[in-house]
Structure 1
């Protein structure tokens, strides 16, 4: 029977299970090992960036403070998803309660939004550094940097709380429901509700615009001014140095916003749950994994700091 009330205060609250990737045991074991390896690489890679930023004095600048904050968010982001995903790869799927699903959705959305906002903050940092280098130290103070990170997190938590609460006011009229995904994301859950979800879909679309389109527009505007400043530089060495400080960030931005836009900004009639799940694998594993690789392989300061830390650790072990 269709009920117009959510299940929050009912003893027969629904449970959810995630659709398996495959029923072939050999493939299940292979996927488990692959995803576990990727997760460990993400945690170790981003933890290494946090460690080197916190311990190396040459990286005590706003740019690397934001990079360390981004790495911390990436670890939290994947940790919210991957352990539960790994436990459900094999045939015996473990159900997740309504409350558990809500908690995962809340933190997944919060850390995902924070990721996008931090990338916008990092674009502003590059804008000030390249377009107003003489005033960089006066503008990008430690207090402002902390406020921008906390503001990004606070806004993300607020949007995530509203989106999660709005989603779970929908009625779910069956006790056992299968989510065609590997996590409790908003769109797959809404399609399991036994109610008209057009208003909820509109809200999701508006939130997606706030989180994706507006920050990306700010990043684009920042890079328009950055490109104009770089092109007007007389020194080829100066242009190369300025470009190198932006290329890593721009690569991460295009990957993150590109994948998320394909999932959350495409018309629902032109997409399917299977496609969303495949794209979600990219921004769940790809971006957090490539983030430390991109910033270490394309950033001389980080590479030098990591090399010094490794040599120092090796010297301590040998002594």
Structure 2
């Protein structure tokens, strides 16, 4: 094990100091910062999160300590999964490491102040976000801890959640769909993670029927990307990577629909349902027009 790996493990273990030391955990982080050059950005990023919490409290804004704790796990322990596995397998192992370590740590630090369902949901969301950011960003030691913390913080407000078993089933269902798309060469590993995040959030906040509509769009888009592919390739307008969709395709077509599904889950107003349908229809029409229309010789 290299010196940098030891330093990262030491940083991860500092999560156990949070209940007693709180923001003063920056002191041992500062020691690691001075001793190991390779993990300095990670130490500094986590220290910034710890310092932000008391500063935000001055404005009556609460950055939960359990959110920071899960970020420690996502940034320090979970990336070790990518050392011996490829991108997709490493991402799945990353997720389960984050769940296995993050859930008990967050439960301990929260002290029963939040439900076990909320902890599980946030740990899953943090794991998926961390795995995605690990792939999508070059400055991983900054984007993974900060990105996972901000995503989990965004969903740390009070809203109803289903029981633990159902949350796990939804996560597994979303992963299976994503892996199927990967094996069918319709999506790359980043798109799998992005689709899993979208699926999890849409089903939890709006229901399975909402995601079925979005899934129909994904299937149509993937199928018609292959339509006339050789002709589109000759014209220089074909989807890159042999038609595989990436995370940019997922978010550019799904982000508005995702936001509307979440708003429906929070406020329950039918206008968000109509807007969701319109958003998916617009994305579907745009995708099919570009994939089919560009092959027309007329």
* Common fold by TM > 0.5: no
Structure number with the bigger relative contact order (C-alpha 8 A, sep ≥ 6) is 1
TM-score, normalising length: structure 1:
0.29
Structure label with greater radius of gyration: 1
TM-score using structure 2 length: 0.30
